[in-house]
Amino acid sequence: MTEPYDPAGEGAQMSFKGRMSYSDYLELEKVLNAQSPLSSAHDEMLFIIQHQTSELWMKLALHEMRAAIGAIRADRLDLSFKMLARVARIFEQLNSAWDVLRTMTPSEYTQFRDALGQSSGFQSWQYRAIEFLAGNRNLAMLGPHQHRPDLMEKLEGILAEPSLYDEAILLLGRSGFDIGADAARTDWRGTRAENEAVLAAWQAVYRDPQRHWMLYDLAEKLVDFEDYFRRWRFNHVTTVERVIGMKRGTGGTGGASYLKKMLEVVLFPELWKVRTVL
């Protein structure tokens, strides 16, 4: 009989006394001990892990978006492309994750829903940070974070600087295009007004991609990101309707009706409009 294979024979490290191991490096003690179901319902673990993993992916999306914004500001579009492509893929990955959550039926969710109290993804500060960084700056969404000065500082820090889309528009300006009122902006905090000059600039880019290749590529990367982000929102509302129907959300909104309204949000308006005028 052959002996079971021992990888130590080919040099696999088998003793970690006094050495950094995989668990040490990844701080798995913290990560794997951060699931504390409040009920005895079997499916609560799925619900918690689904949210936690989504938040981890959002953390990476924020890391990439911040770096992409810096790269565009520094005229390093080549660097920003890689990061923006990664953000789109992160959302694609989050989209697939809904398939796991969809295995939870309304009967199963009802068993622990009351334990959530008023907590809801509506209070996800990282989700708001992604929206704010992208350019959707609805200041009303700061409300649930006002009791946390540390989070307000992070969110206000993002609002004080140009968004990803603002940076793309400023780049259009640096590239010689007229960007109208966007050229005079100094306050980045609120919602940006759409502007015909920016539409005309994107139109010129899309009419002659060869001449404006980098701007064209950037525009398509942004549309790609928004496309996947929209799919995430659509998958969310469909899952929500499947699990709670038209019940109100734990966060207090109308539930699926609120989320359907959010499907109308447009991050990069002129980039969608330009399709109609080509």
Binding site feature residues for heme: 236
Give 23 or 52: the residue with its C-beta nearer to ligand HEM: 52
User: How near is the Cβ of 127 to ligand HEM at its closest, in Å?
Assistant: 4
Q: How far is the CB of 112 from ligand HEM (least distance, A)?
A: 10
Minimum distance from CB of 104 to ligand HEM (Å)?
A: 6
Binding site residue list for substrate: 47-51, 109, 113, 250
Q: Which amino acid is at 103?
A: T
- For ligand HEM, the binding residues (CB under 6 A) are 50-51, 54, 101, 109, 120-122, 124, 127, 236, 239-240, 243-244, 249-253, 255, 258-259, 262
Question: Smaller CB distance to ligand HEM: residue 185 or 260?
Answer: 260
**119: how many CB neighbours lie within 10 A of its CB?**
11
State the minimum distance, in angstroms, from the CB of residue 30 to ligand HEM.
Answer: 19
- What are the CA-CA distances from residue 268 to residues 70, 86, 230 (Å)? 18, 18, 12
CB of 261 to ligand HEM, least distance (A): 9
- Least distance to ligand HEM from the beta carbon of 92, Å? 15
User: Cβ(222)–Cβ(81) under 8 Å?
Assistant: no
Closest CA relative to residue 69, chosen from 125, 130, 156: 130
Are 262 and 240 contacting, i.e. CB atoms less than 8 angstroms apart?
Answer: no
Q: Which two tokens stand for residue 47?
A: 């619900």
DSSP string, 4-19: PP-GGGGT-----TTS
The nearer residue to ligand HEM, 216 or 258, going by C-beta atoms, is: 258
Give the residue with the Cβ less far from ligand HEM, 145 or 236. Answer: 236
The amino acid present at 161, given as its one-letter code, is: E
Question: From CA 15, how far away is CA 170, in angstroms rounded?
Answer: 55
Cβ distance to ligand HEM smaller for residue 244 or 266: 244
Name which of 185 and 242 has its Cβ closer to ligand HEM. Answer: 242
Q: Are 180 and 197 in contact (CB under 8 A)?
A: yes
Residues flagged as binding site: 47-51, 109, 113, 236, 250
Please choose, from the candidates 215, 223, 217, 216, the residue with its C-alpha nearest in 3D space to the C-alpha of residue 91: 223
Q: Look up residue 209 and give its two tokens.
A: 């991609």
